[in-house]
Structure 1
Amino acid sequence: MLHPLLSNTPVWVWALLVFLVARGVAAMKPGETSLTKLAIVPALFVAWGIVSINHRFGNAWEAWGQWSVGIGAGVGLGWLLLRRATLTLNPSTGELWRSADYSLLPLLLVTFAVKYGFECALSVSPSLSADGSFRAAYLLLSGGFTGIFLGKYLRYLRASRLAVLGRTLDAAG
């Protein structure tokens, strides 16, 4: 049963996995990066979520509402994950220096596995999208993981803004 699932997975999904692993490994090293690069992962998960929900549930307001609730909870968690990070802005390059982020790779792998698992289940059994419990779990988890990446990005954005205003930021405020 595993072989047909893996072989019927589009190539872009495997390319996305490789990209996410590379981003997670790179985040384990402290260094300078741009806000644009930091926005890529949250943007990917927002886009993947929008496409998936639109495809599976269309304009169902309750689906979008559950996903949004998940995002809200995830943003708070993502913000907290970077509470001890050291973030400073290099005025000469305009890039943000950040300490190593060891939470990103495991989060990316778990997020990918959960989203992939739900998508496989829905592909094999499309009727699951009508099951209220399955639907809620899918939407809340998908939104929650997306929110975590958004929350982390918002913390980076805040650090950058505070640095521009001339305030120091040891632990991202």
Structure 2
Amino acid sequence: MLQQIIIHTPLWVWAILAFLMYRGFIASRDRELSLKTVSVIPLVMLALSMQGIAGTFGFNLLSMGTWLAGLLAGGAISWSLVNDRNVRILPEKSAVFYRGSWGAMALMMAIFLTKYCVGVMIAINGQLRSETGFAAAVCLAYGLFNGLFLGKLLRVLTMYKQQADAVLQVQA
């Protein structure tokens, strides 16, 4: 059965997996990133999540409510974990320095595997689409994952703005 699942997986799915693994390896090393680059992965993950919810459950009160609850929880957790030890703002370069971490890889793989497993489960048992508990659990997980990415992004952007404002005040 596993062989059949893998054989019937579209090639583009493996391309997304390769891209996410590549980005995860890059994130494991210390690096400087532009503000634009900092936003790429959180926005890609958000798009994958929204596509997964829309295609599987549709945008309704249950799916969006549980997704939003997960988003808020993940965002609060992630916001609190960002600090000067793992992120340094470089306003003079319009960049952000990130200390390397495998956390991004783990999170991207969690989202990918959740989306992949949900797709396989729905393909095997289409009735799961209409099961409230399944829909709520999946949407909550997607929201939590997105919140972890977006919370970090928002915290970094806030830190950047504060630092840039401080530099402008000193120059004035």
Q: Structure 2-normalised TM-score?
A: 0.87
Structure 1 stretches lacking a partner, 5+ long = 168-173
5 Å-filtered alignment, 1:113-132, equals 113-132=113-132
Tell me which residue corresponds to 1:88.
89
Match of 1:78 in 2: 78
Matching residue of 2:17 = 17
Asked if the contact 2:74/2:148 (under 8 Å) is kept, the reply is yes
Equivalent residue number for residue 171 of structure 1: none
Counterparts of 1:76 and 1:133, CA distance in 2:
24
CA–CA distance in structure 1, aligned partners of residues 115 and 56 of structure 2:
13
Q: CA deviation at 1:140?
A: 0.4
Considering fraction of residues, name the structure with more helix.
2
Contact 2:45 2:108 (8 Å CA) reproduced: no
What amino acid is aligned across from residue 67 of structure 2 in structure 1? Answer: W
4+ residue runs over 4 A deviation: none
Q: Identity of paired residues, percent?
A: 30
Shift in Å, 1:111: 2.4
Q: CA deviation at 1:60?
A: 1.9
Q: Normalization by structure 1: what TM-score? A: 0.87
Q: Corresponding residue for 1:56? A: 56
Worse overlay, 139-148 or 103-112: 103-112
Decide whether the 8 Å contact of 1:27 with 1:100 is kept in 2. yes
Amino acid across the alignment from 2:101:
D
Q: Deviations over 1:69-108 (max 9, x none)?
A: 11111111222332342312140x3111222233111222
Q: Please show how residues 1-173 of structure 1 align to structure 2 within 5 Å.
A: 1-83=1-83, 84-91=85-92, 93-166=93-166
**Count of paired positions:** 166
Q: How big is the shift at 1:149? A: 0.8
In structure 2, distance between residues paired with 1:147 and 1:77 = 8
- TM-superposition CA deviations, 1:101-125 (whole Å, max 9, x none): 3311122222222221122111221
Unaligned runs of 5+ in 2: 168-172
Give, in whole Å, the separation in 1 of the partners of 2:28 and 2:59: 39
